[in-house]
């Protein structure tokens, strides 16, 4: 499949092996897109401004590519012929039978869309007002040198410096004015406890004070308390990090977020390498930590420092991700066995039926009704009370890559994958209904009779 750009300077070619490439007709230079179809490409076209290429393939997907960056921007489920509206905002594709499917290319009306913000790693953090902090790629096999800041409401992005020569995790204060970096300390000498914890003032883009030493070795996670007065990091009790066998114990270090004075330390077994490995409950009452290898999950009372929970449902089972419910009454644990356990923070037993789903990362919706699960680059929604799967999966990474998810304050869910577009999903069912009604309008009695003849008619878009 072949298409020429509106200015005639670029050819887009879709190949039998699924690759998509751009050819400069003046120089003959070939640039290959950063992803591909899983099979032959059947259609190719440019948008009117020449900045976007759209392809379809026999793999049943439509892919939207950014021409200036030669990167994948979005993937839709669909196939067949393609056409774009004159203003470039709407894509038309062949649908089932003789139908035509209409796609929103702007993302403003879509239930899901993707955007290129340059994220180089899957780990990211969400702060107040929908600010997202993430790590930009530092080069092949190199740590990030900058931290990206993305306003999910306006789309604006900016950057600040990162701790040099270290692989880090980022956390944002609830008011999005400070950023915590907890790092692996890879620059330190053998046997030396590294300086690998840093705080940044996002107003001035400057580091607050010196880079601090962790309790032991690599620090794989961090979090601010809900009121922003404390911060916690989880570190391996071992350095350097390449010792055979790795760490067998880890330490949670709790600091005063203003003075950086250590106010508590908590120990647990295992290696601190879990996504969302340490967190405060939304009410600030509890702090939870989880580890892998000699796995352990422990929860402490913030005020007293006492251990209050060690859920038996996760005993000796590696935890891949965890999340508190918005009311703090439940701790969700994504276990390596392919089950998500929903544990009461009062009894430390199951608060709801287990969810049978493999999970790389999990997040509650802001109202606590649903749990979003990311696995192999796709996102699914589950009803917490019943453990029932809701709707169809949101497609994410075309190559089934690992990704992490977080909820935004307005109910949207963000999925971030290494060196891929960042995906944004609307997770509340009300928005699904509003979107469907904005496209197809009210279902008439005749249409209802055709689709659901055994059910009494009821309006779907009006009360």
Say which residues have a Cβ less than 8 Å from residue 259's Cβ, sequence separation at least 6. Answer: none
What domain range includes position 445? 434-463
The CATH number for 90's domain is 2.130.10.10
- Are 226 and 280 in contact by the 8 Å Cβ rule? The answer is yes
Domain assignment present for residue 101? The answer is yes
Q: Examine the fold and report which residue of 92, 110, 128 is the final residue of a domain before the chain moves on.
A: 110
Domain assignment present for residue 61? The answer is yes
Copy the structure tokens of residue 157: 């992005």
Of the candidates 250, 220, 254, the one whose C-alpha atom is nearest the C-alpha of residue 237 is: 250
In whole angstroms, what is the distance from residue 181 CA to residue 185 CA?
Answer: 11
Copy the structure tokens of residue 128: 């107040």
DSSP 3-state of 430: helix
Domain assignment present for residue 341? The answer is no
**Token pair 């509206």: residue:** 85
Tally of domains within the chain: 2
**Token pair 């038309």: residue:** 92
In whole angstroms, what is the distance from residue 71 CA to residue 459 CA?
Answer: 43
Residue 449: the pLDDT is 81
Domain assignment present for residue 267? The answer is no
Domain assignment present for residue 33? The answer is yes
Copy the structure tokens of residue 88: 């470039």
Q: Examine the fold and report which residue of 79, 110, 141 is the final residue of a domain before the chain moves on.
A: 110
In whole angstroms, what is the distance from residue 234 CA to residue 246 CA?
Answer: 15
Q: Examine the fold and report which residue of 91, 110, 129 is the final residue of a domain before the chain moves on.
A: 110
Of the candidates 315, 307, 350, the one whose C-alpha atom is nearest the C-alpha of residue 331 is: 350
Residue 188: the pLDDT is 44
**pLDDT tens across 85-99, in order?**
888 877 877 655 445
Domain assignment present for residue 8? The answer is yes
- Residue 439: phi, psi to the nearest 5? -95, -50
Residue 394: the pLDDT is 72
Omega within 30 of 0 (cis) for the link into 389: no
Copy the structure tokens of residue 201: 């003032």
pLDDT in tens, the chain (463 residues): 899 999 999 999 999 999 999 999 999 999 999 888 889 999 999 999 999 999 998 888 888 899 998 988 877 777 777 888 888 877 877 655 445 666 767 655 556 666 778 888 888 999 988 999 999 887 666 788 899 999 988 888 999 989 888 888 999 999 999 999 988 876 444 545 567 889 999 999 888 888 887 666 778 789 999 999 999 999 887 755 556 566 788 899 999 999 889 999 999 988 777 778 899 999 999 999 998 877 899 999 999 999 999 988 888 888 899 999 999 999 999 999 999 999 999 999 999 999 999 999 999 999 899 999 999 878 889 999 999 998 767 766 666 778 899 999 888 888 888 877 787 877 766 666 776 676 667 878 887 887 778 888 888 777 5
Residue 280: the pLDDT is 97
Domain assignment present for residue 362? The answer is no
Residue 323: the pLDDT is 96
In whole angstroms, what is the distance from residue 403 CA to residue 415 CA?
Answer: 6
Domain assignment present for residue 212? The answer is no
Of the candidates 167, 166, 136, 169, the one whose C-alpha atom is nearest the C-alpha of residue 150 is: 136
């Amino acid at each position: 499949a072949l298409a020429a750009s509106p200015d005639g300077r670029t050819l887009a070619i879709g190949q039998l092996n699924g690759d998509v490439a751009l050819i400069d007709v003046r120089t003959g230079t070939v640039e290959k897109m950063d992803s591909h179809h899983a099979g032959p490409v059947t259609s190719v076209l440019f948008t009117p401004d020449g900045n976007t290429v759209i392809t379809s393939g026999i793999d049943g997907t439509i892919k939207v590519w950014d021409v200036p960056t030669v990167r994948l921007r979005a993937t839709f489920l669909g196939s067949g012929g393609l056409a774009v509206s004159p203003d470039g905002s709407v894509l038309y594709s062949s649908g089932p039978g003789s139908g035509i499917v209409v796609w929103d290319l702007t993302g403003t009306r879509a239930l899901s869309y993707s955007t290129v913000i340059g994220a180089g790693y899957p780990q990211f953090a969400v702060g107040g007002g929908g600010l997202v902090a993430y790590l930009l790629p530092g080069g092949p096999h190199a740590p990030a040198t900058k931290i990206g800041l993305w306003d999910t409401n306006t789309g604006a992005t900016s950057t600040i410096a990162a701790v040099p020569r270290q692989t880090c995790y980022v956390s944002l204060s609830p008011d999005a004015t400070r950023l915590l970096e907890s790092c692996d300390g890879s620059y330190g000498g053998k046997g030396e406890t590294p300086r690998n914890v840093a705080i940044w003032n996002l107003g001035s883009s400057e580091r607050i004070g010196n880079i601090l030493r962790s309790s032991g070795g690599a620090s794989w996670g961090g979090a601010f308390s809900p009121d922003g007065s404390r911060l916690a990091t989880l570190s391996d009790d071992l350095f350097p990090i390449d010792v055979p066998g790795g760490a067998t114990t880890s330490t949670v270090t709790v600091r005063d977020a203003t003075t950086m004075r250590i106010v508590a330390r908590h120990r647990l077994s295992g290696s601190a390498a879990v996504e969302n490995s340490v967190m405060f409950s939304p009410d600030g009452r509890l702090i939870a930590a989880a580890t892998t290898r000699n796995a352990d999950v422990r929860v402490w009372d913030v005020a007293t420092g006492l251990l209050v929970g060690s859920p038996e449902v996760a005993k000796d089972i590696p935890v891949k991700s965890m999340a508190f419910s918005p009311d703090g009454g439940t701790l969700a644990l994504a276990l390596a066995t392919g089950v998500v356990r929903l544990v009461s923070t009062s009894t430390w037993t199951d608060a709801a039926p287990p969810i049978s789903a493999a999970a790389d990362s999990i997040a509650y919706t802001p109202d606590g009704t649903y749990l979003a699960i990311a696995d192999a680059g796709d996102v699914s929604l589950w009803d917490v009370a019943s453990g029932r799967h809701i709707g169809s999966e949101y497609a994410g990474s075309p190559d089934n890559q690992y990704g992490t998810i977080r909820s935004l304050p307005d109910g949207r869910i963000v999925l971030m994958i290494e060196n891929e577009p960042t995906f944004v999903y609307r997770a509340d069912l009300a928005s699904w209904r509003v979107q469907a009604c904005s496209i197809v309008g009210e279902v008439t009695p005749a249409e209802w009779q055709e689709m659901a003849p055994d059910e009494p008619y009821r309006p779907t878009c009006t009360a």
